[in-house]
Amino acid sequence: MARTEDDNWDVTESVGATALGVAWSRAQENASECPLFTDPHAQMFIDAALARGWQLPPAYMLERIRSITDYAASRTKWFDEFVIAAGANGIEQVVILAAGLDARAWRLPWVDETVVYEIDQPKVLAFKAETLRANDVQPAARYVQVAIDLRQDWPKALRDAGFDDTEPTAWTAEGLLPYLPAAGQDLLFERIHELSAAGSRIAVESFGAGFFDGDYLASRREQLRQLREESGADEEENVFDVEDLWYAEERTDVTEWLTGHGWEVTSTTAADLMDRYGRAGAAESAGTTPRTEFIDARRVC
Ligand code: SAM
């Protein structure tokens, strides 16, 4: 489980399986009575992974995922709105970093001529393409896979795939940053900045001040331990936590960095975002609202 500098994964293992966790959560939202968004593809990914022999995480882990379903749904909705607004503002080039099983290229109403580049590890994107092909689903924009690790020279791979750095781009970084070391996060933003023509936009789920605080992480672990205890899980069974895959390091403040590099930034806390979508209540009383921020920025110079 320990992370290494050049680790790689399939969608059913290590960091790859977190994409299935998000897909599971989106499938629950899609099947709910009043979903914030529709994503029929999420269940396709879960079914395909199960058919490959993947097993759903233990009940206590599903309970943890369920406990942050309102967060995950609000996050999905916010990124949906971001890319739609970027298109309405004339941006026709979109890069989804660490796309995982994000189905936006298939499910959103894209402006004509939009090209969506998705970057993630090769085996994750291969699984995704295979599943969508098997379900005969077509993208709603021009879709280009860029199968490469974000710790490698992905700007070259992106350019080789047709990306044009003279055109404004809409970038998204959702569910990504904790899986990169702090230095890797810095390099990621330097590269994005270099590739961004004026007018580009970026949406980031940021794990800023206080997220990697020891007490906060300990309280998250305690919540998980309680869920595990309540579910009656086997005492001997290893407690798996997504935190084991994170680089729990204090990071550069994304808002400050972008502001200092000529981007106009607005940011919203997770609590405010969930409130906006009417999804704050349960997480607030359970104390499970993540300490994240949602950053929306536009490069002005
Ligand atoms: N953004 C997607 C979403 O919200 O549905 C997926 C989020 S999932 C929690 C994390 C994703 O980040 C996985 O698909 C994983 O493969 C990808 N990822 C993490 N580190 C990566 C890296 N160094 N290079 C490429 N992909 C990476």
For 175, the token pair is 């569910």
124 lines ligand 1 (CB under 6 A): yes
| pLDDT single digits (tens) 152-204 | 999 999 999 999 999 999 999 999 999 999 999 999 999 999 999 999 999 99
The burial of 156, by beta-carbon neighbours within 10 Å (0-12 exposed, 13-18 middle, 19 or more buried), is given as exposed
Q: Which of 210, 163, 218 is nearest to 191 (CA)?
A: 163
CB 175 within 8 A of CB 16: no
Q: Which of 205, 194, 187 is nearest to 82 (CA)?
A: 205
CB 270 within 8 A of CB 289: yes
CA atoms within 13 A on the CB side of 133: 6
Direct distance between the N- and C-terminal alpha carbons of the chain, in angstroms, rounded to an integer: 42
CB 298 within 8 A of CB 91: no
CB 198 within 8 A of CB 168: yes
Q: Where are the beta strands (DSSP E) in the chain?
A: 93-97, 115-120, 142-147, 169-173, 201-206, 263-269, 293-299
Residue 139 to residues 92, 119, 209, 249, Cα–Cα distance (Å) = 15, 16, 37, 37
208 lines ligand 1 (CB under 6 A): no
Residues 27, 13: Cα–Cα separation, whole Å:
20
What's the whole-number mean pLDDT along residues 28-38? 95
Residues 222, 227: Cα–Cα separation, whole Å:
9
- The CA 150 to ligand 1 mean position distance, Å, reads 9
Q: How confident is the model at residue 17 (pLDDT cuts 50, 70, 90)?
A: very high
Q: How confident is the model at residue 42 (pLDDT cuts 50, 70, 90)?
A: very high
Measured in whole angstroms, the distance separating CA 56 from the mean position of its chain's CA atoms is 19
Residue linked to tokens 């007018």: 199
Mean pLDDT of the chain: 91
- The CA 230 to ligand 1 mean position distance, Å, reads 30
18 lines ligand 1 (CB under 6 A): yes
Residues 119, 290: Cα–Cα separation, whole Å:
25
Q: What is the pLDDT of residue 280?
A: 87
261 lines ligand 1 (CB under 6 A): no
**Ramachandran angles phi, psi of 232, nearest 5°:** 70, 25
Measured in whole angstroms, the distance separating CA 215 from the mean position of its chain's CA atoms is 24
Model pTM score: 0.94
Identify the residue with better confidence: 57 or 177: 177
Residue 282 pLDDT exceeds 80: no
123 lines ligand 1 (CB under 6 A): no
Query: What are 294's strand-pairing partners?
Result: 205, 268
Identify the residue with better confidence: 10 or 280: 10
| pLDDT single digits (tens) 201-235 | 999 999 977 788 888 788 877 877 777 777 766 65
Residue 154 to residues 14, 16, 95, 118, Cα–Cα distance (Å) = 21, 18, 12, 11
Tell me the one-letter amino acid at 3: R
- The CA 196 to ligand 1 mean position distance, Å, reads 21
Residue 110 pLDDT exceeds 60: yes
The burial of 215, by beta-carbon neighbours within 10 Å (0-12 exposed, 13-18 middle, 19 or more buried), is given as exposed
27 lines ligand 1 (CB under 6 A): no
Identify the residue with better confidence: 96 or 70: 96
For 147, the token pair is 């199968």
Residue linked to tokens 């607005």: 266
DSSP 106-118: HHS-PPTT-EEEE
| Topology adopted by domain 15-299 | Rossmann fold (3.40.50)
